[in-house]
Amino acid sequence: MPNSKLRSLEGDATGIPTGFRAGHVPARGRPSSAMLDDQVREALRFLDDPIALEGSSLTRLPAVRDLSATKYRGRTCATGLALRQVLRETLDALASDLEGTPVGTLAAGLRLGVTQAEVAREIGVSDEYLCRRWKPQLVRLVRQQLVSHDGEGRAAA
């Protein structure tokens, strides 16, 4: 029997992983760091698609809920738009804080819609090396920022 975690990441005709859709019911309790990293990685893949972001369990974060209830209230895909804003702000902060590093360059590239291959060429490494060595670091840092927002509440914009 295939691994259920892998099965939940398989897509269908829409291209959106089935574990990323609103109909997916996650396990109870606090998700593990690895599970959150998977959710962040998927959200970053769909950064410019608020419809896909709507299905992310990251929309339950207080910062996202606050934004969707205020700034995006009544808008189509309010939680997806709010999650996109929170992710963009996080990437901007990381790109600024880590400017000149591979992780900072990758964060800036993701924020600007530059492909991972283009970022790899810019910093002089292979796409595979960037994905294997630096992208997990970026995902971990984004997760940590999101979790710290969860504990502190949303900072004033």
- Please write the tens of the pLDDT for every residue from 11-50: 545 555 545 544 444 556 667 888 999 999 999 999 999 9
pLDDT value at 73 more than 80: yes
Measured at the CA of 66, the angle between CA 60 and CA 72, to 5 degrees, comes to: 105
Nearest partner of 49 among 5, 93, 79, judged by Cα:
79
Confidence of residue 1 (pLDDT cuts 50, 70, 90): very low
Per-residue pLDDT, 27: 55
Q: For the chain, what is the largest distance between any 2 Cα atoms, rounded to a whole number of angstroms?
A: 48
pLDDT computed for residue 28 by the predictor: 62
- C-alpha 143/C-alpha 103 separation (Å) is 14
Q: Compute CA 70 distance to the chain's CA centroid, rounded to the nearest angstrom.
A: 21
Return the percentage of the chain with pLDDT > 70, whole number.
Answer: 75
> Would you list the domain boundaries of the chain?
32-151
Is residue 127 within 8 Å of residue 79, measured between CB atoms? no
Q: Which amino acid is at 103?
A: V
Please give the pLDDT value at position 33: 85
Q: Residues 86-100: what's their mean pLDDT?
A: 95
CA 87 – CA 43 distance, rounded (Å): 8
